[in-house]
Structure 1
Amino acid sequence: MTGRVVIVVGASSGIGLAASIAFAALDDDLVLVSRSADALKAAETACRDAGSGEVDAVVEDIGDPAAAERIVARTLDRHGCVDVVVHTATVMAYGTVEAMPADVFTAVVDTAVHGTVHLSRAVLPVLRRQRTGTFIGVNSLLGPVTVPQMGAYAASKWGQRAVLRTLQQETRDEPRVHVCIVSPGSINTPIYYQAANYSGRVVRPPWPVLAPERVAAAIVRLADRPRRHVSVPVGPGNPLVIAGFRLLPLLYDRLVGPLFRLAALSRGRSEPTVGNVHRPAPARERVHGHWPEPH
């Protein structure tokens, strides 16, 4: 399908930007949403160059309860309908639950959980009136598992997954209104290098690392052929990690700490930083991170 009206929240970097460009290449009309005005301008240019029929850039923070209403109202005023909504906005933080400042932990959870709630409450009534449309939430491998020093991110993704699964159940009465979930593993985006970090070490995406275009392709496929009641994984190791967490918890708990330190923490020391949790870092926003370059 082409010529759709697609809202992408978190469109200025990483998976959100890759998905925006993928939809643009299909000649869809785009509403790009990000709290980062400068990076959003670059995203708008990239989507126009990719072939989008129309691009509207909206500077909003989905953590603001009123932002989603403004985004949807502006989209309806300009385009008259909403066909697809993709929620990719997220922030990440490293460090133990004890070491992480409370405001950082709360902000990480709020972006994923309350951002999803705000957006769904604004857009699902529109999809119900239309009797058609697709809401796609980008979750994570950490949606159903936990990893030491990623408690804030895991809590955000467990909570977001619960909201999305509930929305799937609550939209069963509308057979053409779909709520879909995408669960990427380790993806080469800038999020790792923008993250809040209280681990004491420089962080990196753990192997195997996939390109964000892989996730974007999965998102576009769901927009074309929505799948209810499943979470679409992107990453070859996802099923193995989830199976270990559920079926072999004692072995999982013994191995996950050492493996995390080996795969996700480099030898370099890092001072505590809040990263982009409270405010954007536009200079670092792009489709790809710098893996496998040393950091």
Structure 2
Amino acid sequence: MARIWFVTGSSKGLGLAIVEAALADGDNVVATARNPATVNHLVEKYGPDRILPLALDVANNEQVESTVKAAVDKFGRIDVVVNNAGYAIPRSLEDSSIDIYRDQIDVNLLGTVYVSKAVTPILRKQKSGRILQVSSVGGRMATPGLSAYQAAKWAVGGFSGVLAKELSPFGIKITVLEPGGMNTDWAGFAGDQIISEPYQQSVGEFQKIREQYKSYRSEPAKVADVIVKISKEDEPPLRLLLGPETFDLAKQVGEELAASDEKWKAATLLSI
């Protein structure tokens, strides 16, 4: 039986690739985006019985709830949820306005929370379902200029770990997807990437890292194929790194943290 996918941020990049991969695999998709017209070509290819494009701003909780309801009204159920909507504006904290900072938290973190909360009672009653949270390997890192984005992704990882334990008794599986660089315009629409003179050395590091790993950037279609396969696993991982550079990056971060803990172990034990 065809599964029903609910995907946010479907207009381009990884989100669009996931929609295409799920449809090609024989499943049906509710493709949500701020501009759902971007998937009209898939409606023409697969037909309106298999794909439902819906407008959605994930930072608007009321809209999230009504869109999830529309999805269930159309297909009767939801089997796989992909919280993919997200973006970054690379700037130092000092160079960021509070509005710019807050909006990144609203979309990258609260949007994930809103959608997860809206679908939970549906999946719980079904006693089955998958929630795939598109985070980032940056959710384990600390990259200058990405404090808002990475704070949100760190939080998505913690939130999802707790949610996985809450929903496990109901047969609901959660996986936090942690991709590295991809050939998308992830920060392309975000406006001017301001790096003021005092932050050229620290925040400028971000651009150097992006260039350093440019040859390692994954193709969204290949990542999407892996995601479709993972969605079928009986015992999927809670966290999954995606991309050739991510394993070494995550390993380095883990080793640095362990080394710091060991270095300051004496101070830790003094707290007893």
TM over 0.5: yes
Whole-angstrom distance in 2 between the partners of 1:250 and 1:132: 37
The yes-or-no answer on 1:188 pairing with 2:196 is no
| Aligned-pair CA distance for 1:169 | 1.3
Change (3 A) 1:53 1:94: same
Taking the TM superposition and a 5 Å limit, the aligned residue runs for 1:171-250 are 171-174=167-170, 176-196=171-191, 197-199=193-195, 206-207=213-214, 208-225=216-233, 227-228=235-236, 230-248=238-256
2:94 is paired with a residue of what secondary structure?
coil
Whole-angstrom distance in 2 between the partners of 1:84 and 1:44: 21
CA root-mean-square deviation: 2.4
- Post-superposition Cα deviations, 1:185-231, rounded to whole Å, max 9, x if no partner, equal 00111113223422267956642211111221122012211545521
- Post-superposition Cα deviations, 1:169-190, rounded to whole Å, max 9, x if no partner, equal 111212x211111110001111
Note the residue ranges of structure 2 that are not aligned, 5 or more in a row. Answer: 197-203, 261-272
Q: Which entry has the higher C-alpha Rg, 1 or 2?
A: 2
1:192 is paired with a residue of what secondary structure?
coil
Residue type matched to 1:187 in 2? Answer: M
Whole-angstrom distance in 2 between the partners of 1:167 and 1:251: 30
In the TM superposition, structure 1's runs of 4+ consecutive aligned residues that sit over 6 Å from their partners are: none
Name the residue aligned to 1:13. Answer: 12
Whole-angstrom distance in 1 between the partners of 2:176 and 2:124: 19
Name the residue aligned to 2:28. Answer: 29
Change (3 A) 1:250 1:229: closer
Change (3 A) 1:135 1:15: same
Which of 96, 101, 116 pairs up with 1:100? 96
Q: Which has the higher contact order (CA 8 A, sep 6+)?
A: 1
| Aligned-pair CA distance for 1:102 | 1.1
Q: Structure 1-normalised TM-score?
A: 0.77
The yes-or-no answer on 1:144 pairing with 2:140 is yes
Taking the TM superposition and a 5 Å limit, the aligned residue runs for 1:61-210 are 61-174=57-170, 176-196=171-191, 197-199=193-195, 206-207=213-214, 208-210=216-218
Whole-angstrom distance in 1 between the partners of 2:30 and 2:225: 18
Whole-angstrom distance in 2 between the partners of 1:190 and 1:227: 32
Mapped contact 2:124–2:172 kept (Cα < 8 A): yes
Aligned residues: 247
* Identical amino acids, percent of aligned pairs: 25
